[in-house]
Structure 1
Amino acid sequence: MVVNVHSRTGGKAYAYALDRLRELGVPLGATYPLQDPSRLVETVDSAARSGHDLIIIGGGDGSVSSVVDCLAHRDVPLALLPLGTANDFARTMHIPDDLDGACQTILGSHIVDVDLGLCGDNYYVNRASVGIGAEVAQAMSPRLKRYVGPLAYPVATAKAFFKHRPFGAKLTFPDGDHEDREFDKLLQVSVANGRYFGGGQLAASDSGIDDNALDITVIRQGNLRQLADVVRGLKTGKSSDQVEHIRTRAVRIDTEGELPINIDGEVVSSTPQAFEVARNALHVVVPRTWADGEAPE
């Protein structure tokens, strides 16, 4: 079990999960309460190489996305204690957001295979985005998350919106399943692998994390009222005049000038960039009732 105890709730969550998992009879071969979040990737990679048959991560979407490079196409399943601000990956996988429920899920040990997105050489679970999404990630400071919790997303989005400059992009499809497309005056282009992102927004009404597809969302620049309509539509999966959806297995995004790419809350790449599906690349412990593409109860 590897937990970032430096996070907003990490210390208390680590102590509770440690006691609860032991009460439930889950054998823990090693535990790592990390004070330094930068050690997360090396710790998980070392644990995977050491022969552990399950790795439990305590963290949010950024923590999960950062370690899937270590776990992709490996026979080591991932279990999750959702400790983040949004917990969109946990929502996609129907993992309870309360620690007792998450520990009970781990005890059940029901394992499924799901897809990962691949942005260049970087795997991700939820979504990669160009435009305001990257600007929101840059505005999301640890202090903001710590003090306002889930409200950090709308606060950071408002700050990013007023600083945003519309951009143009060209989308090309190497599999030939769509004609190449060019857009101008854009707010954002996102490439989703999972069902949820951004605190419960839907990639598409019928999106899933095990459908061998990426859901591209192109959002045109508009005023605040139009942006509010877009946000409401993303929460419900409804369409909007400002939004266009494209489903594909692979896409390349070129922009007017190099722009940063936000991957699950962290800016780790830039355009131009290629995206594709990594089919059944990650093993995840989920509730036995999990069914991809369905809303959690």
Structure 2
Amino acid sequence: MQSLLSRDSVKVALVVNAGSRRGQDALASSEEMLRSAGIEDVRSYAVHSGEELETTLDEVAADKPDLLVIGGGDGSVGAAAARIAGSDVVLAVLPLGTANDFARTLELDQDPQTAVQQMLEGKIINVDIGRANGHAYLNVASFGLSVAVTEALNPRLKKLIGPAAYPVATLQAYRHHRPFTARLEFPEGDHDTVELDDLLQVAVGNGRHYGGGNTVSPTASVDDDLLDVYAIVRGRMRDHVSIARLLRSGHFIEHDHVHHVTTSAVRITTDEAMPVNLDGEIVTETPTDFTLESNALHVAVPIRSRAGRLDGPPPDVQS
């Protein structure tokens, strides 16, 4: 698989959430490292708000760089991916968020400078993206408890305790959760329609990690042409504790209170419209059509990354 530096010339757009000192430092050091590697055409963009990020990414995508380096959390990475999916632009990730789940899936180092070096010395792979009512996501789309967790994850809490904010917010959300019913229909006919009652959460995973390092399932991959669908049924506290202990490995899908299937498309309806969380951002609501776009995104990863191992290289980046 071809590396970035094997190309004759590379036009790079470097977009970084510079609202923190860490982001400002990452922007400066990343630009310096890119130029030191012999890349002359580097255009840097410091963004300080969600609105500015959206506007900047629209501008960058229209300019069609060879490489878009996005520095931020999973929400910023997903916003960048949505704009370049299906194009020749390669995405690279600077992990600057709280969870950095897509970076984990790609097996990138959590240190931004090391991640840049891995990108420069690494390879380019192709990965799938999921869509929920047409909106792109990389890791997991979910509704139920996860939405309440997202609402409890205020910026102050994340800044104060970092990744530990996730279990704290989960406990807060759990206290006020109301169970719900969901109907799952499979347009490809690969599964029978199922209606599930008394649910805690439903999630549809495209990638491997979510929620600060939890694993969608033991076999989940960002390039397997499959969505992992799981629904957690409300149980006793001991059941939820048992499931929580298995979240890191993904083996929670084997628990009696978890319904799990894999598919390429599913339509999910609920009795009342429920907000749907895409990679940490509440974007749409039920009923929701979940679909998969195979090999839709080119991504720079470390040379030894196992992400993208199920596919060959994208046709337009072969050496």
Q: TM tier, shorter chain?
A: over 0.9
Secondary structure, aligned partner of 1:228: helix
Residue among 294, 309, 313 paired with 1:279: 294
What amino acid does structure 2 have at the position aligned with 1:175?
Answer: E
* Aligned residue among 132, 135, 139 for 1:126: 139
Q: SS state of the match for residue 110, structure 2?
A: coil
Partner of 2:258: 243
Is 1:263–2:278 an aligned residue pair?
Answer: yes
Aligned to 1:85: 98
Offset from partner CA, 1:177-196 (integer Å, 9 cap, x none): 00001001000000000011
Distance in 2 between residues matched to 1:266 and 1:225, nearest whole Å: 30
Show the counterpart of 2:114.
101
Query: Superposed, which structure 2 residues align to 1:173-192 within 5 Å?
Result: 173-192=186-205
Rounded Cα–Cα distance in structure 1 between residues aligned with 2:70 and 2:90: 11
- Structure 1 spans left out of the alignment, 5+ residues: none
Q: How does 1:197-276 map to 2 (within 5 A)?
A: 197-238=210-251, 239-276=254-291
Amino acid paired to 1:74: S
The counterpart of 1:58, out of the listed 71, 76, 83, is: 71
| 1:142-173 CA distance string (max 9 Å, x none) | 11111111011111111110011000000000
Report if the CA contact (8 A) 1:172-1:180 is conserved: yes
In the alignment, the residues of structure 2 paired with residue 223 and residue 28 of structure 1 have an alpha-carbon distance, to the nearest angstrom, of: 58
Quick one: distance in 1 between partners of 2:21 and 2:159? 6
TM-score after normalising by structure 1: 0.95
For structure 1, which segment, 275-284 or 20-29, has the greater mean C-alpha deviation from structure 2 after superposition? Answer: 20-29
State the alpha-carbon separation in 1 of the partners of residues 198 and 29 from structure 2.
Answer: 49
**Percent identity among equivalent residues?**
45
Per the alignment, do residues 8 and 119 of structure 1 end up closer, same or farther by CA in structure 2, a change over 3 Å counting?
Answer: farther
For 1:171 and 1:7, the matched residues in 2 are separated by 42
Gaps (5+ residues) in structure 2? 1-13, 310-319
**Mapped contact 1:4–1:59 kept (Cα < 8 A):** yes
- For 1:101-180, list aligned pairs within 5 A: 101-108=114-121, 110-180=123-193
The 2-side partners of 1:119 and 1:258 are apart by 14
State the 1:293 CA deviation.
7.7
Q: Does 7-16 or 220-229 show the bigger shift?
A: 7-16
| Deviation, structure 1 residue 7 | 4.4
Q: Is the 8 A contact 1:207 1:293 kept in 2?
A: no
2:42 and 2:21 map into 1 onto residues whose CA distance is 26
Distance 1:7 1:115, change over 3 A: farther
| Counterpart contact for 1:169–1:183, Cα < 8 Å | yes
TM-score (norm 2): 0.88
1:5/1:35 contact within 8 Å kept: yes
Deviations 1:1-28 (A, max 9, x none): 0000114731222223233333333434
Determine the structure 1 residue equivalent to 2:304. Answer: 289
| Contact map agreement 2:125 2:308 (CA 8 A) in 1 | no
Separation in 1 of the partners of 2:56 and 2:284?
A: 23
Out of 47, 50, 57, the residue aligned to residue 34 of structure 1 is 47
Q: What is the CA-CA distance between 1:62 and the residue it aligns to?
A: 1.1
Q: Deviations over 1:83-115 (max 9, x none)?
A: 111111001111111122211122125111100
